[in-house]
Amino acid sequence: MKAYFSHYTNLIFTFILLFTGDSVFGQVRSVIKLNDGWLFKRGEIPEAEKVNFDAKNWEKVRIPHDYAIFGPFDKEIDKQTVAITQNNEKVATEKTGRTGALPYIGEAWYRNTFEVPDFKKGKRALLLFEGTMSQPKVYLNGRLIGQWNYGYSYFYFDISEELLENKENTLAVQLTNLPQSSRWYPGAGLYRNVSIIVTEDVSFEQWGISITTKQLQEDFAQVHVKSEVVGQPDYIVTEIQDLNGKTVAVDSSSKVFGKFFEQDIKVENPKLWEPDAPNLYIAISKLYKDGKLTDIKHTRFGIRTIAYIAGKGFLLNDKVTKFKGVCLHHDLGPLGAAVNKAALRRQMEILKDMGCNAIRSAHNMPSFEQLELADEMGFLFLAESFDEWAKPKVKNGYAKFFNSDAEKDIVNLVRATRNHPSIVMWSSGNEVPDQWGSEGVKRAKFLQEIFHREDPTRPVTVGMDQVKAVMESGFGVLVDIPGLNYRTHLYEEAYQKFPQGMLLGSETASTVSSRGVYKFPVQIAKNKTYDDLQSSSYDLESTSWSNLPEDDFILQDDKDWVIGEFVWTGFDYLGEPTPYDEKWPSRSSYFGINDLAGLPKDRFYLYRSRWNTTDNTLHILPHWTWPDRVGQTTPVFVYTNFDRAELFVNGKSMGVQQKNNSTPQHRYRLMWMDVKYEPGTVKVVAYHKDGSKAMEKEIHTAGKPHKIVLEADRSTINADKEDLSFVKVSVVDKHGNLCPNANIPLQFEVSGAGNFKAVCNGDPTSLEPFHLPTMRTFNGQLVVLVQSKDKAGIAKLVVKGKGLKSSELSINIK
């Protein structure tokens, strides 16, 4: 059996205009981002104010904005008494931190006033929302112009009739977040961008351009451009440029099929898009009426093909490629759900260093910013739509809206994002209870056909955890690409029963750990809990339904028909504090390869040793500061891409270990299980296969905390009131060794051209607010976020702690 999906790409390349109304393209198109000027209020407002909007006492905010992230944490918020069926629970119990214990529930209002100088009656105006949490009702000049339900969906309204010309307009948005509407922290507020788009009456339809690679040869590509238009233009001109601004092809057409122009454009000697070389192009599309330019649209895209072929797997540009992926929730730790491109870029740079090449947006629509970065940085993307269909997982989840809204939400997802070269697959759902029975099969077919109708170039998957059920019902046979969530013991049976000739690990591992925390004795465990509400970073603990990384590694390495995996998760996220769902104060996950602050856990290096084939990895765990363990057995693990290594403790060899197939762990880790702890130095020497030394590393017992060390991910950021520098703060001894047991309160001051934005220590049990300039370190480290103002200069961060030598760092704002 063969399934083939060719590709294309696009990202709407918007030109952002200020409220001056200046237009880059001779007044034919204006895109105004409404970031500033917002007023905010929590709670209900009187009916009369929904028209008059008396907001004089409301809070001034800037969007993207997540109003719940400021806390406080409270276990009574959205306390759910439920049995989590996805976790194989049979009896309902009280879950306190399931949705992050942050105050997202209730009603909230946003208000903005503005003029749109480019708008004149007869023009077309759209109001675009990229993410609102949730159930927004939108009022313009006192009139309800529309509403939406799904908090993760992008949507827009035509406001051409309601928008006032040469007058001040008042926009208000009412949001309502219900309790028991989520299984994780969903965020709250206008957490993504809001824009007004003004065009002539003859223009491109919103999200109306699609670009596909129709044919690809060694020396040319045939690029198909399909453009949906409004009005009756006479002709279209499409120019394709590379990112250096060089024109590589031009085509014009006056043939309109209904409301579509279709063009096949030859690009000679194309540079293909792929993870290691994410080459991009820009299509500049121009519409003309009566010899006059009426609209212009810039669409960024990539040239590449994708195919899913039984017996071979996933092919990108005719090359077999395995997904080395992670799942990501949409929250950004201390920023909450408020989208921020610098924070996303940092996450993705960390993933790139790990060797990750793919991301799954779990379990909802990704942000435009994340997809832009995936295109630029070279990530394969699995864009997911829903966590629920018609059968609910939580009382007030998407099941309330599925029958009425699912089609329009999918249509908007596909049309808004279909031109990203990074997207290589859609997901219509995750672990939906509808996997049981014939009704679920019908729903799966219904959704898949919508995706196929809107985009015939990509396949559809579903994250299936009820593998036995989907074998029996026909659900698994129907899906283009069978996606299995965990259930590694059923891979072989599923492969034999499903006709597609391949399986995807759509969600894998769910190993749990806390950064810098190690528990003894060291042993494999399921649902293991401890009094301190942490999990061991020896990476041998998982949940009842899941497994350790090696179980998936073996399937990926030994089975050609397993086309890749998406690990749960790349980073910790707010909510779902398994295995401590019933314990307080746990309020964020333990699944992450990196913690909530974006600091790597030990598990990062296990994946890096396997996925990063360019750089060498040699990582030692645990730390070597154990004053209470002298003489006790303290196993040492090494994660490395080399097959052999020798361990030394204070110069004495503990022997050579070599990877082998005796256990799944021995195949991918080097482990010295009988080491007795003594203070001093641990050194590891890795060897090439010929016995020569390849690499060495050592760690030391730390002394008393002495000073603070600061390290910024970026020393220069943009003066746009959005850009961020993430500063890692470490407490070290006088020799510069990290103090792994230091949990010391620190204070932060930012002056000059920047502001203190937030702080996070990665501790899933911490109840300290992210937005206050004080927090204790967690196992010696935390991360401070410095945000730019709108003028160039120097931002200075000063960090202090009692008994420690303070430190300061300067960040250039340009």
Q: Does residue 98 form part of some domain? A: no
Catalytic residues: 431, 507
Which of 700, 731, 751 is the last residue before a domain boundary? 700
According to the model, what pLDDT value does residue 51 have?
A: 62
**Residue 152 in domain:** yes
Q: Which of 14, 16, 2, 65 is nearest to 39 (CA)?
A: 65
As to burial, measured by CB atoms within 10 angstroms (0-12 exposed, 13-18 middle, 19+ buried), residue 747 is middle
What is the rounded CA–CA span in Å between residue 319 and residue 509?
27
Angle at 464 between CA 459 and CA 465, to 5 degrees: 165
Is the residue at 24 inside a domain? no
CATH code (residue 63): 2.60.120.260
Instruction: Specify whether 498 is located in the same domain as 603.
Output: yes
Q: What is the mean pLDDT of each run of 10 residues along the chain (814 residues)?
A: 33 28 58 96 78 80 98 96 80 92 97 95 97 97 96 98 96 97 98 98 98 96 98 97 96 96 98 98 98 97 98 96 98 98 98 98 97 98 98 97 98 98 98 95 98 98 97 96 97 97 98 98 98 98 96 97 98 97 96 98 98 98 98 98 98 98 98 98 97 97 98 98 98 98 98 98 98 98 98 98 96 98
Report strand pairing: 781-788 vs 754-760.
antiparallel
- Tokens 């993207």, located at residue: 64
* CA proximity to 517, closest of 626, 605, 424, 438: 626
Task: Report the pLDDT value the prediction gives residue 45, as an integer from 0 to 100.
Answer: 84
Same domain, 430 and 477: yes
For residues 328 and 189, state if they share a domain: no
Owner of token pair 């810098």 = 516
* Residues 384 and 255 placed together within one structural domain of the fold: no
Q: Looking at the whole model, is its pTM more than 0.85?
A: yes
CA–CA separation, 345 vs 369, rounded Å? 9
Q: What's the structural domain count of the chain? A: 5
607, 565: one domain: yes
Calpha distance 412→132 (Å, rounded): 14
Sign of the Cα pseudo-torsion (457, 260, 364, 328, in order): positive
Residue 313 lies in a domain: no
Q: How far is CA 606 from CA 200, 350, 372, 537, in A?
A: 55, 14, 28, 11
Phi-psi region of 651 (alpha: psi -120 to 50; beta: other; left: phi over 0): left
- Residue 771 has a CB neighbour count (10 Å cut-off) of 15
The reply to whether 88 falls in a domain is: no
CB 637 within 8 A of CB 538: yes
DSSP lists the bridge partners of residue 759 as 784
Do 803 and 728 lie in one domain? The reply is yes
**pLDDT at residue number 442:** 97
157 vs 147: CA distance, rounded Å? 9
Tokens of 158: 């035509």
CATH code of the domain in which 442 resides: 3.20.20.80
CA dihedral of 474, 475, 479, 485, whole degrees rounded to 10: -130
Are residues 494 and 365 part of one domain? yes
- Listed residues 666, 700, 734: the one ending a domain: 700
Structural domain contains residue 805:
yes
**Pseudo-torsion of CA 757, 761, 763, 768, nearest 10°?**
-50
In sequence order, the β-bridge partners of residue 107 are 176
pLDDT value, residue 55: 77
Q: Tell me if 13 is assigned to some domain.
A: no
Domain of 214, CATH number, reads 2.60.40.10
Q: Are residues 599 and 574 in the same domain?
A: yes
Which residue type sits at 544? S
Read off the tokens for 595: 């913690």
* Amino acid of residue 149: N
Backbone φ/ψ region at 777: left (φ over 0), alpha (ψ -120 to 50), beta: beta
Contact 478, 448 (CB under 8 A): yes
CB atoms closer than 10 angstroms to residue 488? 18
* Domain span holding position 122: 29-68+104-199
Write the CA distances from 365 to 8, 137, 204, 208, 267, integer angstroms: 19, 20, 24, 19, 32
**What are the residues facing 221 on neighbouring strands?**
216, 267
Same domain, 695 and 738: no
- Residue 94 included in any domain: no
Q: Taken in order 133, 135, 138, 139, is the CA torsion positive or negative?
A: negative
Residues 451 and 529 in one domain: yes
Short-list 673, 734, 676, 675, CA closest to 703: 734
Residues 127, 245 within the same domain: no
Q: How far apart are CA 728 and CA 781, in angstroms?
A: 7
DSSP state of 425: E
Query: Is 286 found in the same domain as 210?
Result: yes
Of 153, 179, 199, which marks where a domain is finished?
A: 199
